[in-house]
Chain A
């Protein structure tokens, strides 16, 4: 992340977009988080009222919200807590199947089925969390991927899930209902995570990410907090899955436990900036719009684009859009606020002090 080596190219950037101005924007957002969220809630609620009809565009926007929920949920554990999961779609699929089965086979009302889906995903997360959250790094990632593959296989083999041919759901609410449902869940999740990120509970998650052993030495039973975050992520992912099954009117092992989505939602969080509330949402909106465009313009190339985007992000902006901007903004602040006084060996210290 050395910013000093690209001195020339950032020179122009500095004139056009001075770091302290970006810093001011961040300060503004930090101080007005709730107002911005309320503004977003109003703006997002308007389109159907202003005449956005059911159809292609409403579907695309609804999916944007869906992906934002998935990316934000992933980030709560992957970004905030530092446990990158490759199995989040397991919660999605579980929620999707529970809702579909309850609504179709047991004639349960959709909202009730949706709540059941969320709670079951949460319970499932508590059970497997106790096992997989003991693992770290690669082992955790592989174990969660295993959970996803196993869940997919199970849905293929059972009768109640409709086996490999899945379930078709015909009596579903209108597109506008889904629009507001996805949007409402997203806003609720953003509000919750934003609130938590300013509490000591949120700090503990970040502390686990930065140095779990130190957090333990400070008196925190980290398993407890990791599991809580993981359950919360599962709750929202499960509800999103439940909503999706009726939204899509069809669910089978391939769509419920969609492997490509599993990668997309991670890419969205990383692209936007993990460990933040706005980052994964921005990433989801941006990448989904792009994918949608490529899908229509160059059929079949979206995975190539996705792969390319991930590689470019990881190499060029490991902190994502929001993280990179924040780093850029705070570059000067450290010195302005008196950090320089105590640094003896000149300019490089701030870079080496990173690790």
Chain B
């Protein structure tokens, strides 16, 4: 939606724009021993956007996510959420500040029922002790029903989540995020391992979350058709460095991207 962000034009207007960014990283660098997995990366995600992050395997995409969420601490650089410097915050506190995250390898609580997974995800009342010590109220339980019906898993509420198939677990993880209503949702390969017939549904779900639930979305994806269709803007990483940024059309025609990435496929 915001075509105003030109990385090279750091005018006053762009600066106020940065302050309104839901997410901004400033020179984030992460090294593992001799390997620089993320190298001086700046990204910016504006409210309401769906931004893609692509790059070959091992480019550092998941590592960048980990630095944003606080799972890993960046060696250099800063991370800002809604204008606030969260670089040194513990991971749980960053999540509480409105950041949702779906993992590349899909993580749900396997020995708990599907319903409990969803109820736990609700951020309403936060970590407030009083609300944690009350039984979840009916509106919350109705919301779980609603969301399960929405992702076509109605009827599985009392099933142990670990019994579900991989694709179903992915949908549960997504429904958990809808339950949490984050301001910014980081999705690490949402389409990975999903049945091709489900892809259209997934696009629909993500769009709805973006439009109706007002979640800003930053997603990593290998499936090019998918990411080109859904993203407003795309960042490209290769060997830890950000090599391009632009609209899907720009990225598809960018020579550096073609060389580093699309050309290899």
Do A and B form a real pair?
A: yes
Residues of chain A touching chain B, judged by Cβ–Cβ distance below 8 Å, are 196, 198-201, 203-204, 206-207, 209-211, 213-222, 275, 330, 333-334, 337-339, 342-344, 349-350, 353-355
Interface members, chain B 116-160 (any A CB < 8 Å): 116, 119-123, 126-127, 131-136, 152-156, 158-160
Complex formed: what's the CA distance from A227 to B122 in Å?
Answer: 22
* Residues on B with beta carbons closer than 8 Å to the beta carbon of A210: 109-112
A330, B165: Cβ atoms closer than 8 Å: no
13 contacts between A and B (CB under 8 A): A196-B133, A199-B135, A200-B131, A203-B116, A203-B119, A206-B116, A210-B110, A211-B110, A214-B107, A217-B103, A219-B180, A221-B90, A353-B166
Complex formed: what's the CA distance from A222 to B91 in Å?
Answer: 11
Residues of chain B touching chain A, judged by Cβ–Cβ distance below 8 Å, are 69, 71, 90-93, 95-96, 101, 103, 107-112, 116, 119-123, 126-127, 131-136, 152-156, 158-160, 162-169, 176, 180, 195
Known: A342-B164, A353-B163, A353-B164. 6 other contacts (CB 8 A): A203-B112, A204-B132, A213-B107, A219-B123, A350-B163, A353-B162
Q: Which residue of A lies closest to B100 (CB)?
A: A218
* Residues on B with beta carbons closer than 8 Å to the beta carbon of A203: 112, 116, 119-120
A219, B69: Cβ atoms closer than 8 Å: no
A217, B71: Cβ atoms closer than 8 Å: yes
Q: What are the 9 closest A-B residue pairs judged by CB atoms, nearest first?
A: A219-B95, A210-B109, A219-B96, A214-B107, A201-B132, A203-B120, A338-B155, A337-B155, A221-B92
* Residues on A with beta carbons closer than 8 Å to the beta carbon of B135: 198-199
A218, B95: Cβ atoms closer than 8 Å: yes
Complex formed: what's the CA distance from A209 to B116 in Å?
Answer: 14
Complex formed: what's the CA distance from A219 to B133 in Å?
Answer: 17
* Residues on A with beta carbons closer than 8 Å to the beta carbon of B110: 210-211, 354
* B74 to A: closest C-beta gap in Å: 17
Complex formed: what's the CA distance from A198 to B158 in Å?
Answer: 13
* Residues on A with beta carbons closer than 8 Å to the beta carbon of B155: 337-338
* Residues on A with beta carbons closer than 8 Å to the beta carbon of B122: 200
* Residues on A with beta carbons closer than 8 Å to the beta carbon of B166: 353
* Residues on A with beta carbons closer than 8 Å to the beta carbon of B120: 200, 203-204, 207, 218
State the majority secondary structure of interface residues on A.
helix
Complex formed: what's the CA distance from A355 to B133 in Å?
Answer: 30
* Residues on A with beta carbons closer than 8 Å to the beta carbon of B162: 353-355
Complex formed: what's the CA distance from A218 to B154 in Å?
Answer: 23
* A205 to B: closest C-beta gap in Å: 10
* Residues on B with beta carbons closer than 8 Å to the beta carbon of A219: 92-93, 95-96, 123, 126-127, 180
B111, A199: Cβ atoms closer than 8 Å: no
* B156 to A: closest C-beta gap in Å: 6
Partner of B109, one of A206, A275, A334, A342: A206
Partner of A200, one of B71, B108, B136: B136
Complex formed: what's the CA distance from A220 to B120 in Å?
Answer: 10
Complex formed: what's the CA distance from A333 to B108 in Å?
Answer: 20
B156, A211: Cβ atoms closer than 8 Å: no
Complex formed: what's the CA distance from A214 to B91 in Å?
Answer: 11
* A220 to B: closest C-beta gap in Å: 6
Q: Which residue of A lies closest to B171 (CB)?
A: A342
Q: Which residue of A lies closest to B167 (CB)?
A: A342
* Residues on A with beta carbons closer than 8 Å to the beta carbon of B103: 214, 217
* Residues on B with beta carbons closer than 8 Å to the beta carbon of A353: 162-166, 169
Complex formed: what's the CA distance from A196 to B154 in Å?
Answer: 26
* Residues on A with beta carbons closer than 8 Å to the beta carbon of B180: 218-219
* B50 to A: closest C-beta gap in Å: 21
Complex formed: what's the CA distance from A344 to B164 in Å?
Answer: 12
Question: Contacts A200-B119, A337-B156 given: A217-B134 contact, CB under 8 Å?
Answer: no
A339, B107: Cβ atoms closer than 8 Å: no
* A53 to B: closest C-beta gap in Å: 42
* Residues on B with beta carbons closer than 8 Å to the beta carbon of A218: 95, 120-121, 176, 180
* Residues on B with beta carbons closer than 8 Å to the beta carbon of A342: 152-153, 164-165, 167-168
B109, A211: Cβ atoms closer than 8 Å: yes
Interface centre among B112, B153, B162, B167, by most chain A C-beta atoms within 10 angstroms, is B112
Complex formed: what's the CA distance from A339 to B155 in Å?
Answer: 8
* A48 to B: closest C-beta gap in Å: 34
* Residues on B with beta carbons closer than 8 Å to the beta carbon of A198: 135
* B26 to A: closest C-beta gap in Å: 23
* B72 to A: closest C-beta gap in Å: 12
Interface centre among B107, B119, B132, B152, by most chain A C-beta atoms within 10 angstroms, is B132
Complex formed: what's the CA distance from A213 to B136 in Å?
Answer: 23
B112, A206: Cβ atoms closer than 8 Å: yes
Interface centre among B111, B131, B136, by most chain A C-beta atoms within 10 angstroms, is B111
Complex formed: what's the CA distance from A344 to B135 in Å?
Answer: 36
B163, A200: Cβ atoms closer than 8 Å: no
* A130 to B: closest C-beta gap in Å: 15
A201, B133: Cβ atoms closer than 8 Å: yes
A199, B134: Cβ atoms closer than 8 Å: yes
Partner of B163, one of A206, A211, A354: A354
Complex formed: what's the CA distance from A199 to B90 in Å?
Answer: 25
Partner of A199, one of B69, B121, B133, B160: B133
* Residues on A with beta carbons closer than 8 Å to the beta carbon of B160: 330
* B138 to A: closest C-beta gap in Å: 14
Q: Which residue of A lies closest to B118 (CB)?
A: A203
Complex formed: what's the CA distance from A221 to B126 in Å?
Answer: 11
Q: Which residue of B lies closest to A219 (CB)?
A: B95
